Chains A and B, each alone.
Chain A
């Protein structure tokens, strides 16, 4: 039986005790396999939205009103055990800061195993390790047992974020929520991660809710963009439309704030994507990068 209709339909409000209306009647939807960009300034409620979809706001004493319809099921009405079964297996989360998202006291293998065992068991440790190594390979990390034995403090930030993505896709979720996954990374790594997400989207058919404050990243990845400001969804449209004719004043300010875009704005989406992936030449004047393109290319090409 093939599930029909939208993957995610959201119409919700969230209140915190000290901040009522953290999200105010935010309504959007997401198709299967689609990448939706969610843009907003800091404090606009982007992360709250991610937490709400995962049913995690109550851990911060928040209260959800409204509906979160995911894959034909109503998440807002679910109890904790059902939600737990969905978290990590159907909906995954990647956070902004890769370093603090990894448990400093545990080896990488342990963290992998925990992510795996949260939903499945019955695999021998040898098979488990093969699975982990395969996922390391999928995100272009060294697929070596030695790497698995490391502690988080022994890997780089970029490696950490790719590792987190690897763990997030282990159960082949239908939706990956990426909450500013690139903002803690340097521009090259940023681009690598963006490319990786695009590739995984294409390969696994996994929808992505891509949360960012960086319009350029959004433009490179998403067909549609939703703009969040102070808990309200002020605009939701095709990426190109947003860039060409931002309707809302806030959106306009966002677009104008994009620093290094040439004044003659590219008209097609492909061009925008090119503008982003070609970060180096768009920003050459400001910050020359050594051999950025080749790094990026190797990343793209090594994709199996």
Chain B
């Protein structure tokens, strides 16, 4: 267990370090097109080869990780926090608030997102710097991603509501905020963690899908999402295994964090 954690920590450290110092590690700017060397296999100077525009895949991967690995967890945190607030209060307080939140959740999940996101794009100015588009994208993911975790959290709260310890705390005179944040919240930690871990890879990939709707990370910025999108072209990947590097990075990152942050299985006993 601890060994696995140590390996996970080292892997994460390497990934984070590499992406933080991407500018120093990668010799080529991520947007520079070497048009004489397009789609080349790994070679000296290009450890992962070049993409179809002759850009250094290694540099794009490092810079893409910096963007995605920072922002996807941030967005996941935002959506999980929103979901926790709404799910907790709805499940705990019940009544009209619960009905309102449940209704909003159902509505939210049934909304035609396609059209909504198109509308959002239509409202945005045309000239959005790539960096701003990144923030907008992940902000949007974070703001829109609350509904299904909120539903899960609400039902978890509902079942905790019936628990004896909450009844006793209430009978001991604890106020609602204390019941919520001191008694309920710690018991929801595993649920919240799970929702967070579901959201991170989901957002990494949704970002690429948003690109199809005119949002998302735009050229020339790389992101794990748009790097992963290249893998959809499976016939191209077949003979070029180095193209799988972004997928490997995502798996290492998500897996590593999972190992590192998962609650100690021995905590209870």
Which A residues fall within an 8 A CB radius of B? 54, 56, 59, 84-89, 92-93, 95, 97, 100-106, 110, 114-115, 117-119, 151, 153-154, 164, 167-168
Contact = CB atoms under 8 A, between A and B. Distances in A.
Nearest to A113: B182
B178 A118 contact: yes
B172 interface: yes
Contact of B165 (A88, A93, A101): A101
20 contacts: A56-B170, A87-B170, A87-B173, A88-B171, A88-B172, A89-B173, A100-B165, A101-B167, A102-B165, A103-B169, A105-B187, A110-B182, A114-B169, A114-B183, A115-B172, A118-B172, A118-B175, A118-B178, A151-B267, A153-B268
Interface residues of B, number: 22
B167 A105 contact: no
Contact of B171 (A54, A102, A103): A54
B10 interface: no
Q: Which of A85, A105, A110, A114 has most B Cβ within 10 Å?
A: A105
Given A118-B178, A153-B268, A103 B165 contact: yes
B269 A103 contact: no
B172 A114 contact: yes
B264 interface: no
B163 interface: yes
Contacts, number: 77
Interchain residue pairs A-B with the least CB separation, the first 5: A88-B173, A105-B186, A88-B172, A93-B171, A87-B173
B3 interface: no
B16 to A, nearest CB: 30
Given A103-B186, A151-B268, A153-B269, A118 B164 contact: no
Contact of A103 (B175, B187, B268): B187
Interface string B149-191: 0000000000000011111111111110010001100110100
Q: Which of B166, B169, B267, B268 has most A Cβ within 10 Å?
A: B169
A242 to B, nearest CB: 29
Given A97-B164, A101-B164, 14 more contacts: A56-B170, A59-B170, A87-B173, A88-B172, A100-B163, A102-B168, A105-B189, A106-B182, A110-B182, A115-B174, A117-B178, A118-B172, A153-B268, A164-B168
